[in-house]
Every structure is written in structure tokens, then in C-alpha cells.
Structure 1
Amino acid sequence: MKNQLLREIQERVREETEGSKDEGRDTYDLASHERDREINFLLNARERDKLTAIEEALQRIKDKTYGMCEGGGENCEGEIRLGRLKVLPFTRLCVKCQEDMERESKIQKKFEEERGYRKLAITDIEEEF
């Protein structure tokens, strides 16, 4: 899996460097090319994150902690179930801890959005005075 991801990243980098000549392109071609580059950058970032997760999973195997949940939440199952590991071999959390983390993330995001709206509202009022 790791080697396959590395090959895909290398291929994308090679294609990107070969196709980076802007001569003879109009504005629309350049904009489209730039959008494609941005998408590739985001995909490469995800792949780098995945490679890092794989490396960390391999280290946990060496440390004999692979399959143990790192969440330690209130509802933690302790061990990550085999079915989950087969689907997500580099996961660090059991299902319960993953659900807790996602729930907290949603709450945090909502709080930040509301806080941003409040700041915007206060700034608008201040500008009127």
C-alpha cells in the first residue's frame, strides 16, 4: 500500500513538472491548469497524510501496540475490532472513540462558526458609530 502510494505521488509530480509550460496557453487554459494543480496538491496532501498514518501503524506494530485504541474516552472499547482494522488498517481509534471525536469536532466547529458570526456582528455595529 505504501509503495503504491509513493509511486502514484511520484507519477503525479513527474506529470506536473512535464506539463508546467505555460507557453501558448490562453487565460482559460491557465486557469484550468491552475485549478488542476490545486486539486492535485490537495490530493497529494491527503496521500502524504495517509503515508504518515501507515508509517505510524507500522511503528505501532513494532511497539506491539497495534490494534489498541488511543482515544481512552469514557466509552472506549480498549481494543480496535478486527473488522475495523481490516477496513482502516491505520486507524488509531475504536468506533466509540471515533464517534466521540467526531461529535466533539462538530460541536467545536459549530461553536467557532457562531463565535465568528458574533465577531462579525460586533464589528459591523462598531463601524456604524
Structure 2
Amino acid sequence: VRLDDEIDISRGDMICRPHNAPTVSQDIEAMICWMDETRPLQVGGRYTIKHTTRSARAIVRELHYRLDINTLHRDEAAGELKLNEIGRIRLRTTVPLLVDDYHRNRTTGGFIIIDEATNRTVGAGMVIQRD
């Protein structure tokens, strides 16, 4: 890639068209699938989020609901997500991320969640709304 102007870019920086730019946000609404059998996802939990080539620390601010995959019923009273459960959450990251809705762009709309203590992947998510 050759640029007309000299600008400082490095790994993790994104080049895009001016009218097709992702949203820069620290607050992310997402649907996630929880994959850890030992510890459930809980509100207030601190994790590392891996998004494109960047990693950032994140905290779970809110669990909106757990989705029953058999009935598609939303359990809004749920306080945690266990192994293979799906839910809608709000994350707050320590650094801004360049995100799109998953249905628009899978690369910038998807991420994984890593347990900081064990370095294991504990969840996978899709961005559904940006603030």
C-alpha cells in the first residue's frame, strides 16, 4: 500500500474509505456465546477482548438478557451466562475500538473474550449496536 501523505500508522490501525468508516467506541452492545464451563459470565466481570488485531481490557457493564435457544424467550432476570448460553451484554473497553455491526462487517463486528487469569478464550461475540 502506498499512501499520498506521510502518516504514522502501525499494526492495529485501520485504513478505510471516508464514507465507510467504522464507529470509534468504548461502549459496545453485543450478543455473545459463553464458552467457559468453570466460571460463568457475570456483570462486573473483567476480561480481555480481542478485536481484529487489537486487544483491550473490558468490563461487563450489563447483562440485558439470556436467550433461550429453544423458545427464543428473553430471560431479563438472568444474572449470569453459563456454558453455551447466549445473551446480550454491554461492554466497556479501556481503549476505543473501531467497530461495525456484525451484519455489516464480520471482521470489525466480531470479537473474542479472554479470561485474564487463565488466558483462555471464554466467549465469542458479535457487535449489534454501537454508542
Bin of the TM-score, shorter chain as denominator length: under 0.3
Report which of the two structures shows the higher radius of gyration computed on alpha carbons. Answer: 1
Q: By percentage of residues, which structure has more helix? A: 1
Q: By percentage of residues, which structure has more strand? A: 2
